[in-house]
Amino acid sequence: MALQVTPLAPCIGAEVSGADLARLDGDQFEQIQHALWAHQVLFVRDQPKLEPETQINFAKRFGPLHFHPAAPHLDGYPELFVIYADEHSKVANGNGWHTDVSCDEEPPLATMLQLHTVPETGGDTLFSSMYAAFETLSEPMQNFLCELTALHDSEHIYRGRYADRGVDDAGKRYPSAVHPVVRTHPETGRQALYVNPSFTTRIQNLSSDESRALLDLLFRHQQRAEFQVRFKWQENDIALWDNRCTQHLALWDYWPQTRSGHRVTIKGERPVYRAAPNEHRRMKLSRSSI
């Protein structure tokens, strides 16, 4: 049976209906994959609460899973990251623009999150298209960025972050990696801006002042509202996003309410930049051609 895919914003995001993710046949799974590459983030409502095995098995259809270097997981399920914030929380996960774990040498390809408890108001997640961010830059700036690499670090993010949830990270080393500033999506061939304010600390081969100024400019540009879609969660909704061409921000505006769920990430490949003809670099509002 064909699924319905309804775009939610010009650059990014679609809602999928008619899907029971626990029971997709091969053809429907291909439709989901195709929709994800085209729309970058998918939202699926009206799902039952997924058992850990069911969520893990669905995610494994995309490929092997990724293991988070820092976050608390469900007992017996090291690949399942428990998202949780309540009145006692000192931090809430994802409360700053980022792409998941870009500090890894092979950052996650995609992430699947189901929220089980949602606040009465607030707790939305915003997603931004890094294709749109790249494609709206001037050609000289695109050419300049395509030659650059940047350091993605995580010590400043993860050290002690989950102590209040029982994670003791004494003696642990957190990852860092150098990635191209522009990465080519292996499925679509499109170029995406691949720096983010949470993990990217330095552009290589520039002076420290130049690096700071350029990163500030890119971070401001990436956060333009017209590149975004904003998702308002209901209980058991699922979001599935492609980390290779998006960033997201989970708003922590709901304290002291509780927000919780389960997140699974799929292992990705080392980001690479491949030169593409200039006509592939202009802003495309229509996603139907992918």
Q: Which residues bind ligand SIN (CB under 6 A)?
A: 83, 93-94, 111, 113, 125, 248, 250, 263
Strand order in the sheet with 125-129: 228-231, 125-129, 246-250
Assess whether 248 carries a catalytic annotation.
yes
Q: Tell me which amino acid residue 270 is.
A: R
Closest-approach residue to ligand SIN (CB): 94
Assess whether 98 carries a catalytic annotation.
yes
Task: Find the catalytic residue in 39, 66, 259, 263.
Answer: 263
Three-state helix/strand/coil letters over 156-191: HHHCCCCHHHCCCCCCCCCCCEEEECEEECCCCCCE
Task: Find the catalytic residue in 248, 259, 281, 287.
Answer: 248
- CB of 209: closest distance to ligand SIN in angstroms? 30
- CB of 164: closest distance to ligand SIN in angstroms? 17
- CB of 268: closest distance to ligand SIN in angstroms? 15
Helix (H, G, I), strand (E, B) or coil at 226: helix
- Which one, 97 or 144, has the nearer CB to ligand SIN? 97
Assess whether 68 carries a catalytic annotation.
no
- Which one, 94 or 107, has the nearer CB to ligand SIN? 94
Residue with tokens 């007992």: 75
Q: What one-character-per-residue DSSP string does 88-119 give?
A: T-S--TT-S-B-TTTTSSS--SEEEEEEEE--
Assess whether 263 carries a catalytic annotation.
yes
Helix (H, G, I), strand (E, B) or coil at 79: strand
- Which one, 109 or 214, has the nearer CB to ligand SIN? 109
Give the residue numbers marked as catalytic: 98, 100, 248, 263
